[in-house]
């Protein structure tokens, strides 16, 4: 096999930052000077801050910026919030802000944390008798898992968290000789990934050591890892009001709006093709706040989408009911979030975002994030069932199109004014620009 390909490199991680950049420029870029200037333009002028960013990940060459916006006027459990949102998509912050203002005048959002249990698993195989394994785990060594992990759990237990339970799960019906140690944890204000994984690796060591002494069959630990599916780490957020109170400039007929809105949610509940886009809109709001607060939006995404399919078919994360003249709209989702550790104590803008949110604990942040997702979905469905999604979205997207065509400030002023009374589409903007320039 040919291994010495032209663009391969050994020891890349050992190169200095400038050496990494030089190799990339020399290998992949025709205009090296322009590419280098772009990389350096996104460096922070504060050397200490830049070094901090460089050390977040490996092989850093520069920073990749996303806009940090703010959606104000969120009344959640009688507390008013301005919510930070880090996202690149047009109209997300605007839609959240508009939904917040709408519900501010109708009692605001209500949110509650239903449970905070997190999960980790030791995956292993065992070719002996399953009954012997069950008795051995439950009656002989279960306490040893807790005892051997004391050096890891001591501080967490002092704060009121720790390991909640460890159970054996027999999965041999799905895969030959396959079992799990299924552990549940309370990690309080920490997301807890490192804590959980450290505990699981200790469980695995204990299991291997003890099994070699007492079990007749062969036991092999495959891996030990937390799960990002946390169906018992749940938060619920909702809004409700009398149907007639839905009336506004955009909703002249509240009864018809409520009927149409509920139908739109029901379609997302039963139609996976719609549900995926419906839930993507919810995640526009959720991911933006998760990212702004230094949490792991990829873990949240994976867990939330698994939850959406928990009943065997992918479905809506939000639900709507109209009962006795009252409109109710709610979301119930799993969110494993942290407000201590990780980037929350390192990234200056994460600290800024947390202070903006009045320094929430993990439960408070769960409520805020769930509300952001619910508000985003309300805004999207309100547009879909009234004016249509493109009218508002394309007006927000207008500036992106103008920037693509390098419009001058004078051109932007004229075109923004023009499109206050005209429909925004990509082709109509191009036509308007060409007309001005000709």
189 annotated active-site: no
Could you report the per-residue pLDDT of 287-296, keeping only the tens digit for each?
999 999 999 9
**Judgement on whether residues 362 and 259 belong to the same structural domain of the protein:** yes
Based on the fold, state whether residues 257 and 372 are members of the same structural domain. yes
Q: Count how many domains the chain has.
A: 4
DSSP, res 140: I
Same domain, 245 and 207: no
Q: Examine the fold and report which residue of 387, 403, 423 is the final residue of a domain before the chain moves on.
A: 387
- Examine the residue annotation and report whether 89 is marked as an active-site residue of this protein: yes
193-241 per-position pLDDT tens digit: 999 999 999 999 999 999 988 898 999 999 999 999 999 999 999 999 9
53 plus 122 within the same structural domain: no
The residue with tokens 């390991």 is: 163
Strand order in the sheet with 219-227: 162-170, 178-186, 118-126, 219-227
103 and 241: one domain?
yes
In this predicted structure, the answer to whether residue 411 has a pLDDT above a threshold of 90 is: no
Q: Which of 186, 238, 296, 364 is catalytic?
A: 296
Residue 48 and residue 175 in one domain: no
How many other C-beta atoms lie within 10 A of the C-beta of residue 298? 12
* Residue ranges making up the domain that contains 254: 73-113+236-387
Single out the catalytic residue among 118, 123, 278, 393.
Answer: 393
Q: Which residues of 92-109 are buried (b: 16+ CB within 10 A; e: fewer)?
A: bbbbbbbbbebbeebebb
pLDDT at 347 over 70: yes
The confidence band for 437, taking pLDDT boundaries of 50, 70 and 90, is confident
Whether the model pTM is above 0.95: no
Confidence class for position 388, pLDDT limits 50, 70, 90: low
Pick the last residue of a domain from 34, 49, 65: 65
**For this structure, is 393 an active site residue?**
yes
Among the options 20, 36, 53, 89, which is catalytic?
89
In terms of Cα–Cα distance, which of 194, 195, 161, 226 is closest to 361? 161
Active-site residue, selected from the candidate residues 280, 359, 422, 435: 280
Angstrom distance (rounded) from CA 93 to CA 169: 44
The CATH number covering residue 90 comes to 3.90.770.10
């Amino acid at each position: 096999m040919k291994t010495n390909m032209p663009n391969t490199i050994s020891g890349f991680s050992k190169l200095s930052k400038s050496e990494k950049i030089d190799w990339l420029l020399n290998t992949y870029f025709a205009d090296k000077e322009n590419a280098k200037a772009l990389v350096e333009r996104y460096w922070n002028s504060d050397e200490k801050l830049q070094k901090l960013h460089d050390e977040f990940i490996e092989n850093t060459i520069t920073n990749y910026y996303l806009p940090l916006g703010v959606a104000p006027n969120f009344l959640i459990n009688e507390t008013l919030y301005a919510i930070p949102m880090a996202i690149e998509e047009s109209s997300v912050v605007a839609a959240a802000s508009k939904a917040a203002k709408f519900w501010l005048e109708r009692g605001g959002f209500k949110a509650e944390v239903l449970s905070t249990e997190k999960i980790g698993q030791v995956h292993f195989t065992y070719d002996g008798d399953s009954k012997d394994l069950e008795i051995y785990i439950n009656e002989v060594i279960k306490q040893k898992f807790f005892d051997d992990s004391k050096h890891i759990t001591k501080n967490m237990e002092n704060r009121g968290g720790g390991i909640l339970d460890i159970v054996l799960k027999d999965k041999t019906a799905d895969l030959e000789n396959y079992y799990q140690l299924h552990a549940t944890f309370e990690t309080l204000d920490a997301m807890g990934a490192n804590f959980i994984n450290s505990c699981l690796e200790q469980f695995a060591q204990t299991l291997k050591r003890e099994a070699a002494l007492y079990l007749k069959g062969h036991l092999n630990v495959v891996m030990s890892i937390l799960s990002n599916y946390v169906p018992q780490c749940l938060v619920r957020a909702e809004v409700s009001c009398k149907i007639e109170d839905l009336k506004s400039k955009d909703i002249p007929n509240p009864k018809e709006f409520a009927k149409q809105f509920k139908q739109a949610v029901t379609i997302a509940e039963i139609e996976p093709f719609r549900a995926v886009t419906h839930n993507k809109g919810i995640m526009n709001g959720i991911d933006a706040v998760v990212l702004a607060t230094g949490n792991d939006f990829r873990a949240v995404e994976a867990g939330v989408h698994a939850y959406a399919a928990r009943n065997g078919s992918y479905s809506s994360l939000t639900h709507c009911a109209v009962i006795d003249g009252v409109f109710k709209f709610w979301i119930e989702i799993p969110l494993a979030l942290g407000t201590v550790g990780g980037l929350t104590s390192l990234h200056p803008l994460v600290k800024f975002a947390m202070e903006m949110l009045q320094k929430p604990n993990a439960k408070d942040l769960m409520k805020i994030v769930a509300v952001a997702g619910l508000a985003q979905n309300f805004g999207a469905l309100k547009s879909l069932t009234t004016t249509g999604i493109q009218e508002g979205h394309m007006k927000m997207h207008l500036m992106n199109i103008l920037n693509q065509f390098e419009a001058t400030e004078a051109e932007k002023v004229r075109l923004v004014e023009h499109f206050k009374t005209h429909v925004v589409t990509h082709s109509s903007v191009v036509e308007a620009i060409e007309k001005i320039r000709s």
